């Protein structure tokens, strides 16, 4: 598997980091995890067509994670779009109602190929890949989930936005790559998000093989402080997320 960090930022505008979005490439499939503002352009920069996606997985419906979703659905309605394979969009509990109320009035679903909007199950198989989710602690207004993908004894976990919780530790157990919300340092902890020291604690308890902190709010000092704080507890390799960084699993 291969992961490309399309967006490692938050809803705070940044010239360095787009909003949340990640491209997961398996043996023969391309999955988009979150679709924040700027992610469609990041796909183009990565030389990946929006039309080649096999599925989209949304962790939650805050704007920095779905800002480009309506534009993507609209683009998929282009006349004579060369696509016949189905597209599934998965999201947290309540996602179908969100899609009908927010996306569909602006961008009607495509009709030239099978198109599905679904709430992600706790566990299912797709394209020969085992996919798991868990509920995460993030917002009182919106449900949120994390995703785990397993293929050929390799695994990747995307935390989405979350706070410290046993559920995310269990989901990330022994994963090869853990891409985790690391919004702040401990001194600037935001409820519903993880600080770097908490990320290190989760990664260490879960015994993940490689940690990639992401979803960076601005902090005082260099981003390397996040890695330093994670490393106070986590003893494995740490790679700070950067937009268009590619990681082989």
Q: Which tens digit of pLDDT belongs to each residue from 8-33?
A: 999 999 999 999 999 999 999 999 99
Q: Tally the domains of the chain.
A: 1
Paired tokens of 184: 């702040």
What is the pTM for the complete model shown? 0.96
How crowded is residue 143: how many other Cβ atoms within 10 Å of its Cβ? 18
Taking 90 as the threshold, does the pLDDT of residue 185 lie above it?
A: yes
Looking up tokens 């989901």 gives: 171
Between CA 61 and CA 223 the distance in angstroms is 26
What is the pLDDT at residue 196? Answer: 97
Q: What is the pLDDT of residues 217-249, one digit of tens each?
A: 999 889 999 999 999 999 999 999 999 999 999
Looking up tokens 């503002």 gives: 37
What is the pLDDT at residue 140? Answer: 87
Q: Mean of the pLDDT values across residues 146-152?
A: 97
φ, ψ of residue 139 to 5 degrees: the values are: -135, 145
Q: Mean of the pLDDT values across residues 101-120?
A: 95
Q: What is the pLDDT of residues 113-147, one digit of tens each?
A: 999 999 999 999 988 899 999 999 999 888 999 99
Residue-averaged pLDDT of the chain: 96
Q: What is the pLDDT of residues 44-56, one digit of tens each?
A: 999 999 999 999 9
pLDDT band at residue 80 using 50, 70 and 90 as cut-offs: confident
Q: How far is CA 23 from CA 2, 50, 151, in A?
A: 8, 11, 15
Phi-psi group of 80: left, alpha or beta (phi > 0 → left; psi -120 to 50 → alpha; rest → beta): left
Q: Mean of the pLDDT values across residues 196-202?
A: 98
Paired tokens of 110: 């495509």
Q: Mean of the pLDDT values across residues 95-124?
A: 95
Taking 90 as the threshold, does the pLDDT of residue 166 lie above it?
A: yes
What DSSP character marks residue 108? P
Among 232, 184, 177, 181, smallest CA distance to 206 is for: 177
Taking 90 as the threshold, does the pLDDT of residue 109 lie above it?
A: yes
Among 190, 207, 202, smallest CA distance to 230 is for: 202
What is the pLDDT at residue 213? Answer: 98
Q: Mean of the pLDDT values across residues 53-61?
A: 97
Between CA 199 and CA 203 the distance in angstroms is 6
pLDDT band at residue 184 using 50, 70 and 90 as cut-offs: very high
Residue-range definition of the domain harbouring residue 42: 2-248
Taking 90 as the threshold, does the pLDDT of residue 79 lie above it?
A: no
CATH classification of the domain holding 188: 3.60.15.10
Looking up tokens 């961008």 gives: 107
Q: What percent of the chain has pLDDT over 90?
A: 94
What is the pLDDT at residue 26? Answer: 95
Q: Mean of the pLDDT values across residues 153-163?
A: 97
What is the pLDDT at residue 211? Answer: 98
Radius of gyration of the chain (CA): 17
């Amino acid at each position: 598997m291969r992961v490309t960090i399309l967006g490692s930022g938050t809803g705070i505008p940044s010239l360095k980091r787009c909003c949340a979005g990640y491209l997961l490439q398996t043996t023969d499939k391309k999955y988009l995890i979150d679709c924040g503002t700027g992610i469609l352009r990041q796909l183009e920069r990565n030389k990946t067509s929006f039309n080649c996606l096999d599925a989209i997985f949304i962790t939650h419906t805050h704007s920095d994670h779905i800002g480009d979703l309506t534009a993507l659905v609209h683009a998929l309605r282009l006349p004579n779009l060369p696509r016949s394979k189905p597209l599934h969009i998965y999201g947290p509990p309540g996602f179908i109602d969100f899609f009908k109320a927010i996306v569909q009035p602006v961008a009607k679903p495509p009709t030239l190929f099978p198109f599905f909007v679904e709430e992600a199950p706790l566990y299912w198989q797709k394209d020969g890949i085992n996919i798991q989710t868990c509920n995460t602690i993030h917002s009182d207004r919106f449900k949120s989930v994390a995703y785990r993908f397993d293929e050929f004894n390799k695994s990747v976990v995307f935390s989405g936005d979350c706070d410290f919780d046993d559920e995310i530790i269990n989901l990330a157990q022994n994963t090869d790559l853990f891409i985790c919300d690391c919004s702040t340092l401990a001194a600037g902890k935001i409820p519903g998000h993880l600080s770097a020291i908490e990320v290190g604690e989760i990664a260490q308890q879960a015994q993940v093989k490689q940690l990639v902190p992401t979803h960076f709010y601005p902090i005082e000092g260099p981003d390397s402080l996040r890695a330093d704080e994670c490393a106070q507890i986590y003893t494995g390799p740490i790679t700070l997320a950067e937009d268009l960084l590619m990681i082989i699993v």
